[in-house]
Amino acid sequence: MVDATTRFFESLNRRDHEPLLDKAAGTVRFDLHEGAQTTHWLLRVDRGRLTVSQEDREADTVIGTTPALFEEMAAGRENGLAAVLRGDMTVTGDARLVVQIERIFPGSPDAQGPRRLHHREVR
């Protein structure tokens, strides 16, 4: 079974075009640190077109966190901006890209969304 992190990056790679990132351009490297080991994911954004690799190359923005926290974010259970404020995720380089990329993470699987009246009546 593949983890949510891998699924997340693979889905980005498959996405032909991500409209939420239409205005973004640059590279973001995610460094997931666990002890002495670091896993890298490199996301290249070119006006909505996305490419993912696992290269450890220089990037405009470097985001550092643990694989566990990233897994929760990829599954929609943790919020990236709150994690940055908490210091559980670090950002080096162009911070604007972080705000843009945070928005393509999924929402919570438990979210109910707007509560429409007629739904309530059905229950």
Partner 1 sequence: MGQSNTIRILDGNTFVVSEETGDIEATPTEPTGLFSLDMRFLSRWVLTVNGERLNALSYDDLQYYEARFFLVPGMATHYVDAKLSIIRERAVGGSFREKLTILNHDEKAVDLEIRMDAGADFADLFQVKDEILNKKGELYAEAESDRLRLGYRRGNFVRETVISSSRPARYDRNGFAYSVHLEPNEQWDAEIDVQTFALGPGGRDLRLGVTAHGNERLALQHDLQEWIAKAPKVNSEHDRVAATYRRSLVDLAALRFAPLSLGGQTLPAAGLPWFMTMFGRDSILTCLQVLPFAPELSKTTLRILASLQGSRFDDFRDEDPGRILHEMRYGETAAFEEQPHSPYYGSVDATPLFVVLLDEYERWSGDVALVKELERECRAALRWIDDYADLAGNGYVWYERRNTETGLENQCWKDSWDSISYADGSLPPFPRATCEVQGYAYDAKLRAARMAREFWGDPAFADRLEQEAAALKERFNRDWWVADGEFYALALDPDGRQCDVLSSNIGHLLWSGIVDHDRAEKIARHMVGPRLFTGWGVRTLAEGEVRYNPIGYHNGTIWPFDNSFIAWGLRRYGFAEEAATIASGILDAATYFDGRLPEAFGGYPREQTKFPVEYPTACSPQAWSTGAPLLLLRTMLGLEPHEGHLAVEPVLPVGMGRIEVLDIPGRWGRVDAFARGRLDLHQLAD
**Contact residues: partner 1, CB under 8 A:** 19-20, 22-23, 64, 76, 79, 81-82, 84-88, 90-92, 95-96, 98-100, 103-108, 110-118
CB of 27 to partner 1, least distance (A): 17
Best CA proximity match to 98, nearest among 14, 30, 6, 12:
30
Best CA proximity match to 48, nearest among 18, 26, 15:
18
Which residue, 6 or 92, is less far from partner 1 as judged by CB? 92
Total length of the chain: 123
Per the listing, tokens 């974010």 go with 73
Which residue, 14 or 116, is less far from partner 1 as judged by CB? 116
CB of 13 to partner 1, least distance (A): 19
* Single-letter amino acid code for the residue at 99: V
